[in-house]
A = this chain, B = another copy of it.
Amino acid sequence: MQKQQYLTKNQQIVLDLVEKSSEPLKAYTILFNVQKKGIKAPLQVYRALDKLVEIGKIHKIESRNAFIACHNSSCQVAKATAFSICEICEKVTEISSAGLSKYLANFKDKDGMKYSKYNLEFFGLCKKCR
């Protein structure tokens, strides 16, 4: 069972936009595109984004300061994310590899410490750009 089943109006507006997009969106691009829906200020966007990230509906691509919808149904929470990023066309794809998830979830550092969360960003050239 999830913490929050229904999204609020602002959260839904932002999520709809991010889900429709084929590429990661930046906060101010989102703002610009939802102004016709009544969202007026950056903070309204950032608050919606924060919540959507928290519940795993979207992810932040840290190296790009941009947000992408989660297309991995198992990814209910933003605690284990991996992406591939094309350095030419900036195409971003969420990686869902059971092997990778398992490896990273079980990874222990020198002190034998395990981590509750990770974010991995791979960089390279996509098929088109090679």
Chain A residues close to B by CB (< 8 Å): 62-63, 84, 87, 93, 95, 97, 100, 103-104, 107, 109-111, 113-127
In the assembled complex, the CB of A40 is this many whole angstroms from the nearest CB of chain B, namely 26
Given known pairs A62-B62, A63-B62, the reply for A109 and B123 (CB within 8 Å) is no
- CB pairs A–B below 8 angstroms (10 shown): A62-B62, A84-B115, A87-B117, A93-B109, A104-B122, A116-B123, A116-B124, A118-B120, A118-B121, A118-B123
- A127 and B115 CA atoms in complex are apart in Å by 12
Copies in the complex: 2
Is B127 a contact of A113 with CB atoms below 8 Å?
yes
Q: Which of B63, B103, B111, B117 contacts A119 (CB 8 A)?
A: B63
Contacts of A114 in B (CB 8 A): 124
Which chain B residue lies CB-closest to A64? Answer: B62
Given known pairs A118-B120, A120-B118, the reply for A111 and B127 (CB within 8 Å) is yes
In the assembled complex, the CB of A71 is this many whole angstroms from the nearest CB of chain B, namely 13
